[in-house]
């Protein structure tokens, strides 16, 4: 697989900053593929960055051939860049999704990750510690560290 150069792309937002108020705006996001769900006519990708996650929705009939060819290659933990249009929707928990217009793949991951980063398949502590970098990407672990950080900061003040 050929990897894409970053070129002149610059991040416009972090995933957590994508809100319904940005409806219709073009954004550039960078992050890791957290999950891919292919439902035939629609492909859903959860993109994760250091600030959170956002859903990318790719309608097969409306997407360009270039976008579809990139999207169909994606697997968990691939490092990607996405330019797309923010769309307000009632179908997602956050009320917003991004419709990709361009996708770049910057790096790939192992075909089979040592642990499931979504947490749907529990892993034993030994496997979690061996793959600690991946384990720390789980939302549950991120939340724990954010709470600890806030507590330590409050004690310091």
Query: What is the DSSP secondary-structure string of 17-51?
Result: G--GGGTT-EEEEEEEEEEEEE-SSEEEEEEEETT
E strand intervals along the chain: 26-38, 42-49, 52-59, 79-88, 96-107
What CA–CA distance (Å, rounded) separates 153 from 157?
Answer: 6
Q: Is the pLDDT score of 91 beyond 90?
A: no
The CA angle 8-60-56, to the nearest 5 degrees, is 50
| Token pair listed for 13 | 């937002």
What pLDDT score does 111 carry? 66
Q: Calculate mean pLDDT across residues 52-64.
A: 94
pLDDT band for position 33 (50/70/90)?
very high
| Token pair listed for 63 | 């997407």
- pTM confidence score: 0.78
> What structural domains and CATH numbers belong to the chain?
15-107 (2.40.50.140), 125-156 (no CATH)
What pLDDT score does 18 carry? 96
Q: Cβ distance 18 to 49 under 8 Å?
A: no
The pLDDT tens digits of the residues spanning 98-138 come to: 999 999 999 997 667 777 777 677 778 887 888 787 788 77
Percentage of the chain lying above the pLDDT 90 cut: 66
């Amino acid at each position: 697989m050929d990897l894409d150069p970053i070129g002149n792309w610059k991040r416009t937002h972090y995933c957590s900053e994508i809100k319904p108020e940005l409806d219709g705006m073009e954004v550039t996001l960078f992050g890791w593929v957290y999950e891919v769900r292919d439902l035939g006519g629609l492909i859903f990708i959860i993109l994760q960055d250091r600030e959170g996650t956002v859903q990318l929705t790719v309608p097969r009939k409306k997407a360009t051939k270039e976008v579809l060819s990139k999207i169909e290659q994606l697997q968990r933990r691939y490092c990607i860049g996405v330019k797309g249009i923010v769309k307000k929707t009632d179908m997602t928990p956050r009320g917003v999704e991004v419709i990709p217009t361009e996708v770049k793949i910057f790096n790939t991951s192992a075909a089979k990750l040592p642990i499931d980063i979504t947490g749907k398949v529990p892993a034993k502590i030994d496997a979690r510690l061996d793959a600690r970098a991946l384990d720390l990407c789980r939302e549950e672990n991120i939340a724990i560290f954010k709470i600890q950080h806030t507590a330590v900061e409050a004690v310091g003040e």
